[in-house]
Amino acid sequence: MHRCRERAISEGPEAARTGGKGGEERVIRAKYLDWCSARIAERFLQLTPEEIYELAEMASRDDVESSRGAVVVSGDADEKPFRWMVGRVTEVLAVSLRLPTLEEWSAAYRASPERYDSELLGFWKEKG
């Protein structure tokens, strides 16, 4: 996937319940993924249908990959449904936006959480 798919931070369910360091790291990672999703969605919504199609075609021809090991779906766009096209465009946007790594974002977030909190979609919040 893209840069937002950094290594999993492992901690047990007990750490999440007790609010320990593992629980805090899990929340930071969830907020990071939320923030990255918001950036990609924001950019995607700025595209015209023609731009979406062009980006999907470009990704198919060039097999665009992130230098951080993005997982890229292969195949001919003419044979794939719209959902496939959206996935390809999402990958291209994730690379072109040059999103920070989890470690970079985490440090910036901890230094100034108010800067990022207003940009979160809310997906990071646990249900239940």
Going by C-alpha positions, the residue among 91, 103, 32, 36 that lies closest to residue 59 is: 91
Q: Rounded to two decimals, what is the model's pTM?
A: 0.65
Instruction: Using CB atoms within 10 Å of the CB of residue 61, give its burial: 0 to 12 exposed, 13 to 18 middle, 19+ buried.
Output: exposed
Q: In the predicted model, what is the mean pLDDT of the chain? A: 75
Percent of the chain with pLDDT over 70: 66
pLDDT of 92 higher than 60:
yes
The enclosing H or E element of 119 equals none
CA–CA dist 29, 103 (Å, integer): 9
CA distances from 18 to 28, 95, 106 (A): 15, 36, 21
Per-residue pLDDT tens digits for 6-57: 433 333 333 344 455 678 899 999 999 999 999 999 999 999 989 988 888 8
pLDDT range class, residue 88, cuts 50, 70, 90: confident
